[in-house]
Structure 1
Amino acid sequence: MSKRPKILVTQRIPADAYSLLHSIGEVEANMDEGIIWSPEELLRRAPGHDYLLCLLTDTIDARVLETCASASPRLKLVANMAVGYNNIDVKAATRQQITVSNTPGVLSDTTADLAFALLLATARRVPEAERFLRAGKFTGWGPLLFCGAEVHGSTLGIIGAGRIGRLMAKRAGGFDMHVCYYNTRRLPADIEASYRLTYVELEELLRQSDFVSLHVPYAPTTHHLIGERELALMKSSAILINTARGPVVDEKALVHALQSGRIAGAGLDVFEHEPAVEPELLSMENVVLVPHIASASFKTRTRMAMMAAENIVAHAQGQRPPNQVNG
């Protein structure tokens, strides 16, 4: 009888995934809600496990991978419960013959929903108005009370027209928005037509858009994709939306652009040095901030956890994980 594999789950996840993992192995899990293990804690706990189910907020660096690869049993797969996997040193994993998997596709609609919610909330000053009302300051209707930006009929610029970017465009169609996009590769004409997308170069997109929404993966080529120069190209009435990755935006440059009136506002789900946020952003009324919740619906988070678990189960059964990203 073969020995059941040992599985480590680094953060608390939806319950259904534990049942699947228990069916094929012995599970050790961090059950403390909101507690993220440091790299040192991971280095202490992870060696001796066959499988590691982690999240984007876990740092799985070369040191962790190399130590786990030399332990017994050796680490065989890191299942990331996220689309992105820049938290994992994939090259180091590949060198150590450790498989890495992710959970693509399942969170696209939910993330596009949140991106559009940020656009609406920032444009129409919803959080600011709610704080005003809760503070007891509302004494009656006024013609200029919390006037915001028009959404319907405006121009939305989408940077990164993958799954989520296209779904953002689809939502914009319901508001009769004009949608332009920039991508490293132009989309086929039939896809452009289907989503009513107009291709423009990045500089032109920044100049003509009332709203700029970021949907690119994080990589060295997208680090500070939006910096001082790019912000200076935007309309002074424009609003920046980021549900991609924090380091895609130079946060200090964004603070300066907002403080100087270079742009009108921002809606942010992710931050450059997450979970830390530039202190100036916290006090700005023209910025809507949420704590990395783009995929946070019960249905989506459960499906993400199940996909991560299914990648582990497939590997344990001698199959290629459905969402393997290396090898």
Structure 2
Amino acid sequence: MTKVYLSAQLPNVATQTLEKAGLDVSSYDGDGLISHDELLKHVSDADFLITPLSTKVDQEVIDAAPKLKLIANFGAGFNNIDTAYAKQKGIPVTNTPAVSTNAVAEVTIGLMLALSHRMVEGDHKMRNEGFPGWAPLYFLGHEIAGKTLGIFGLGNIGSDVARKANALGMNVQYYKPNRLSDPEERSMKVTYKPLADLIKTSDYITINAPQTPDTVHKFDAQAFKAMKKTASIINVGRGPIIDEAALLDALKSGEIASAALDVYEKEPNVDDGFKSLKNVILTPHVGNATVEARDAMANIVADNVVLVNSGKDAKFVVNK
């Protein structure tokens, strides 16, 4: 019988689809993330592997699974998988693009608003010391309307962030390696800026780009020195795009005003230095953690397994 191994618990819709297709489904049900050794053990007789982006699928894992026909990654990113080696072995790797766009864009805007109005800081204050009462100059934040948002990465998510930010009255500029056409920019109400200019002129910078060799530590000490002292940075892309040691120094020294991080350079670990700062919001990689997005992702990975098992091509192959 064809065996499918899920290296994490997924929404029920995935298991239902797979079992309806007559596949033998087993899933990791331990605490926390699956260990490398545990994964090696369970893929040895698997025909299909469905895995979250938090699990590393390296050469050793691929070699341990001689029957493997597909690696379906549960996430838009796929830097956790050795896609080149999988291709060498004739194993397609798929991801789940687009379906989490709205969820991640909403979180991006939500974190920006929370920073601007000091919502998390205010919640902490109320739960601990309380406040002395309403006063004209007490606990002031900033409105985002009329401010300049710089988006690093204008793919599906960055484009949706731009649309939402425009609706909130922001001036939106962006950087990506391949500039949009003039009609596209006018339609989206965005302005292209070289990265150095975007860093210098933005009141808020959101990172909505994938991790590539070119984007690792793109925001380093030099970038933070160039930002406005009143600027904030929000990372919902990938942790290593920010040099976190440099960011921590910039926040402590007042080089920039604040930061919100949903992803981390050494995820799931976060530098303890951030935890004591009032001008930082930390969330546990919840960008697409909605029922709607995760169900849609589950449908994609399960459908791809069913397609390949029936002799058809998978959708969203990233290592063609």
Shorter-chain TM-score above 0.5: yes
Q: Which residue of 2 aligns with 1:37?
A: 34
State the secondary structure of the residue aligned to 2:154.
Answer: coil
Shift, 1:188, TM fit: 1.6
Shift, 1:138, TM fit: 1.7
Find 1:97's aligned residue among 90, 115, 118: 90
Question: Structure 1: which 5+ residue stretches go unaligned?
Answer: none
Rounded to whole Å, the distance in 2 between the matches of 1:81 and 1:239 is: 30
Q: Which residue of 1 aligns with 2:16?
A: 19
Find 1:154's aligned residue among 141, 147, 152: 147
CA contact (8 A) 1:77 1:99 kept: yes
* 2:24 maps to 1:7: no
- 1:166-245 matches, within 5 Å, as 166-245=159-238
Aligned partner letter, 1:151: I
Q: Output the aligned Cα RMSD.
A: 1.0
Rounded to whole Å, the distance in 2 between the matches of 1:325 and 1:59 is: 16
Rounded to whole Å, the distance in 1 between the matches of 2:49 and 2:153 is: 30
Q: Deviations over 1:125-171 (max 9, x none)?
A: 10000111121422211222221122110000001111111110101
Shift, 1:99, TM fit: 1.1
CA contact (8 A) 1:81 1:102 kept: yes
Q: May I ask how many residue pairs the two structures share in their alignment?
A: 319
Q: Which residue of 1 aligns with 2:107?
A: 114
* 2:304 maps to 1:311: yes
CA contact (8 A) 1:266 1:288 kept: yes
Aligned partner letter, 2:25: V
Q: 4+ residue runs of structure 1 moved beyond 4 angstroms?
A: none
Q: Which residue of 1 aligns with 2:26?
A: 28
- 1:50-129 matches, within 5 Å, as 50-69=47-66, 74-129=67-122
Could you state the TM-score of these two structures normalised by the residue count of structure 2? 0.98
CA contact (8 A) 1:38 1:59 kept: no
State the secondary structure of the residue aligned to 2:65.
Answer: helix
State the secondary structure of the residue aligned to 1:212.
Answer: strand
State the secondary structure of the residue aligned to 2:123.
Answer: helix
Question: Structure 2: which 5+ residue stretches go unaligned?
Answer: none
Rounded to whole Å, the distance in 2 between the matches of 1:12 and 1:144 is: 49
- 1:272-287 matches, within 5 Å, as 272-287=265-280
Aligned partner letter, 1:164: I
Find 2:244's aligned residue among 233, 246, 251: 251
- Taking only the aligned residue pairs, the percentage that are identical comes to 37
* 2:72 maps to 1:48: no
Q: Which residue of 2 aligns with 1:271?
A: 264
Aligned partner letter, 2:44: P
Rounded to whole Å, the distance in 1 between the matches of 2:263 and 2:36 is: 21
Rounded to whole Å, the distance in 1 between the matches of 2:190 and 2:167 is: 14
Rounded to whole Å, the distance in 2 between the matches of 1:48 and 1:138 is: 60
Rounded to whole Å, the distance in 2 between the matches of 1:10 and 1:284 is: 35
Rounded to whole Å, the distance in 2 between the matches of 1:296 and 1:287 is: 21
Q: Which residue of 1 aligns with 2:313?
A: 320
State the secondary structure of the residue aligned to 1:258.
Answer: helix
Shift, 1:184, TM fit: 0.3
Rounded to whole Å, the distance in 1 between the matches of 2:174 and 2:53 is: 27
State the secondary structure of the residue aligned to 1:222.
Answer: coil
Could you state the TM-score of these two structures normalised by the residue count of structure 1? 0.96
Aligned partner letter, 1:100: V
